[in-house]
Structure 1
C-alpha cells in the first residue's frame, strides 16, 4: 500500500487499522465460503476512500464456513499491534448478518465507550465497514442467505495488557478500532482521541473530579509522596489544552493536573501542548521571574542557561528565590488553565520535581487534592 505522509520533514509510510483488518478478513472469508475457492488478494475501500489490496493468510474452509487472517500493518507508526493477525470466520446461516468476537477480542464492562456494556469492543465504524463488506459479497455472488462473522486475535489478550483497555474496562482482549481505516504515523489526533475515550469512561462512571497526569512520573510521585488514589486518573501526554477543552464539554466539575515542573512551567506561559517541538521557554520564564524576585543578572543568566529545570531549581534554592518564583509560576498556570476552560471548570495544578519534591500548588490545589486522596473518595 504505497500511501505516505510527511512528518517533521520526513516521509513516513501509513498503515491500516484493526478495523480495516477485520473488514478485509470478513470480506475474504465470505468470498471463500461462497465460492469454495482460495483467493490471493482482497480489496477493501476504507472510509477515507483509500482502496487497500490485502493478502489473506492462514486460509481454511469447507462447505459451510471459511476462516482467514489479515496481518496488521501499522506503517511507520510505533504500534504494538503491528504484525499481528486478525482472523475472520464466516459461517452460512439461514438469514441476516451478525458479528461476534472470539479469542482475543475484548468485551466492554464500563459505560461511556463507543460500544455498550456487554458488547464486543468492535467500534461503530469498523462494524459498519464489516457489514458493508459482507453485504457487498452477498450481492456480488447472488447469495440470499445469512452470514455470521466471528473475529479473533490469537495474541489479543496479551497485547491488550499493554494498552489502555484494562483501565477503560475492556476485558479479554483488544478493541477493533479505526475511523478512517488508515493509520496516520505518529497521529496526534489518535492520541487525543484516546484521552477523550478515557475521559468519556470516567464521566460515564459518574466521576466529576478529573485527575490528570502527563505520564508515569507524576503517577509514581503522587503515589509515593501525596497519598493520591490514581486508579481513576487520565493520562494526557502533552495535550493540556485538548484535555481542558474536553473537560468543559463533558461537564466535569473540576480538573487537577499533577505534573513535573518541566511540563507545567510551559503551561505558565500559555503553552497548551507541552511537547518540545512546539515550544520550550522553561528556563526563560524561571530566569525572568527570578529577576523580578531580586536575582542578579549573573544568577538570572545561570538559570537561563540551565540544561534542565532541576538545575534551575537548584540555583533558585541556593539564592532563596524558589518560593517567590514558584508562587508567580503557579499564579500563571492557574490563570492560563482557567482561561482555557473559559471559567466554566475550576482548575488546579501541583508542580513537582523528582529531585526536590513539591515545588508549588495553585490556589485550589490543596482542596482538589483532598478529593483524590486515598480513603477520602
Structure 2
C-alpha cells in the first residue's frame, strides 16, 4: 500500500470548474472534465457531474474531492450558477446561494455584507472565465451554493467569526493538500482579526468548549473569545504579530498546566506531563513523598487536586501554576505581549489566577461567578 497521501481540490476550485464548465456548455463545447490551473500553478483535472439550464441561467454541479485530507465538505455537491447581466459594468458579481454564508463582522478577508467567498476562489473563477472567453472583464453574475453547508457550518468557526447562513468558500490556491493540522491552525487565526476589528485589544484565549462555556459564566464578552485548540503557542504568536495588547488564558487546569510547564502545543500525544508538573509544584510547596506518589498515581488532574486539597496546599499550588503559565507565555513571546491566566475545574470552580488575569477580566467587564471569592 502506498504511503503517499492524495491531494484534492478546494470548494473554490469546484466553483471555478463549475463556472468554466457552464461557459463551455454555453458555447457547445465539451464540459464533462475540466482542466484548471490552481493559483500555485498546479494543474487540476476536475470532473463535472451535471449541468442544468433554466431560462437564462446555467448551473453546474461539481462533487468535492478532498483527497486524504479529513475535510468536512468531502463528497458534497458544489453548485455554481452563472447569469449574464444586461449592464455595461464589466465585472463579475459574486452571490451567496443556499449553504454559503454572508460576512456580518469586520476583520475577515472580504467586507461585511459580502458572500463569504474568499479572494483565492474569486480569483480562480476570474481566471476560469478568462480561459474560456479571453477576458474576465464581463458582466457576469456567479452564484455559489452548497446546500449541505447549512448544517456543516455548525461544525466550523463561522458562527464565531460572524459568517451567517452557511460555510465559506475557501482555499488559497485551489489545491487541497493533506496537511489538515496546518490548515486547521490557520483557520483559527481569523478569530483574532474579527475580535480586533470589533475593538478589543484584550482577548480571551480558550483551548476548547469547556473554557468557552465557563468564560461566558464570568460574563466575559463572547466577541473577545478566541478558540485556540491545542495550538496555544501558535495563537499567542499570531496575536502578538497583530499587536494585541493582552491575552487572558482561560481554561481547565488539565490543559493550561501544560503551559505552566512550557508546553505550547498541548495535544496529549505531544505534551502530557500534567501530573508530573502538579507533583513537582506540590513537592515544592511541601507534599510528602507519599503524597507526591499519590499525585503521580492519579487518573486525572482533578483527582490529583484532591491530594493537594487534603494537604492544605491546593490554592497555593494553583495560584503558582497560574502565575507560571503567564510567565512562561510572556517568555515565549520575548516579553512582547502581556498574558494572564485563569485555571478552573470542570464545574467552573476557580483554582488560581494571577494579577494580570484579574486586570484583563476587569477591563473586559467580567466578574467572578457567585460564591467565588475575589
Structure 1 length normalisation: TM-score? 0.87
Residue of structure 2 equivalent to 1:303: 295
Contact 2:130 2:136 in 1 (8 A): no
- CA distance in 2 between partners of 1:14 and 1:238 (Å): 25
Aligned pair partner of 1:108 in 103, 106, 110:
103
Pairs within 5 Å for 1:15-34: 15-34=8-27
Residue of structure 2 equivalent to 1:286: 278
User: Is 296-305 or 344-353 further displaced after alignment?
Assistant: 296-305
**SS at structure 2 position matched to 1:149:** strand
Q: Does 1:138 align with 2:128?
A: no
Residue of structure 2 equivalent to 1:232: 224
- CA distance in 2 between partners of 1:375 and 1:328 (Å): 21
**1:311-346 Cα deviation digits (max 9, x unpaired):** 111111122231332233223211111112332321
**SS at structure 1 position matched to 2:170:** coil
**1:220-249 Cα deviation digits (max 9, x unpaired):** 22334x343334311111111122112222
CA-atom RMSD in angstroms = 2.7
- CA distance in 1 between partners of 2:367 and 2:26 (Å): 57
Q: Does 1:320 align with 2:315?
A: no
Aligned pair partner of 1:39 in 23, 31, 46:
31
The Cα of 1:158 is off from its aligned counterpart by 3.6
Q: 1:185 to 1:358 in 2, by over 3 A?
A: farther
**1:34-90 Cα deviation digits (max 9, x unpaired):** 22x553211222233433222212312379543211112233444332222111123
- CA distance in 1 between partners of 2:315 and 2:57 (Å): 71
Aligned pair partner of 1:193 in 186, 189, 208:
186
User: Is 58-67 or 185-194 further displaced after alignment?
Assistant: 58-67
The Cα of 1:145 is off from its aligned counterpart by 6.6
**SS at structure 2 position matched to 1:21:** helix
- CA distance in 2 between partners of 1:281 and 1:13 (Å): 35
Contact 1:33 1:63 in 2 (8 A): no
The Cα of 1:251 is off from its aligned counterpart by 1.8
- CA distance in 2 between partners of 1:53 and 1:243 (Å): 35
Structure 2 length normalisation: TM-score? 0.88
- CA distance in 2 between partners of 1:280 and 1:327 (Å): 20
Residue of structure 1 equivalent to 2:372: none
Aligned pair partner of 1:171 in 164, 168, 183:
164
The Cα of 1:171 is off from its aligned counterpart by 2.5
Aligned pair partner of 2:152 in 145, 149, 159:
159
Residue of structure 1 equivalent to 2:58: 66
- CA distance in 1 between partners of 2:333 and 2:7 (Å): 34
**1:166-216 Cα deviation digits (max 9, x unpaired):** 322223332110113233446222222222111111111211111111111
Residue of structure 1 equivalent to 2:371: none
- CA distance in 1 between partners of 2:137 and 2:111 (Å): 30
The Cα of 1:147 is off from its aligned counterpart by 4.2
User: Is 306-315 or 61-70 further displaced after alignment?
Assistant: 61-70
The alignment of Structure 1 onto Structure 2 pairs a total of residues equal to 364
Residue of structure 2 equivalent to 1:334: 326
Contact 1:66 1:90 in 2 (8 A): yes
**SS at structure 2 position matched to 1:278:** coil
The Cα of 1:273 is off from its aligned counterpart by 0.9
Residue of structure 1 equivalent to 2:241: 249
Q: Does 1:359 align with 2:366?
A: no
- CA distance in 2 between partners of 1:375 and 1:315 (Å): 29
Contact 2:85 2:140 in 1 (8 A): yes
- CA distance in 1 between partners of 2:140 and 2:222 (Å): 45
- CA distance in 2 between partners of 1:68 and 1:130 (Å): 13
- CA distance in 2 between partners of 1:256 and 1:289 (Å): 22
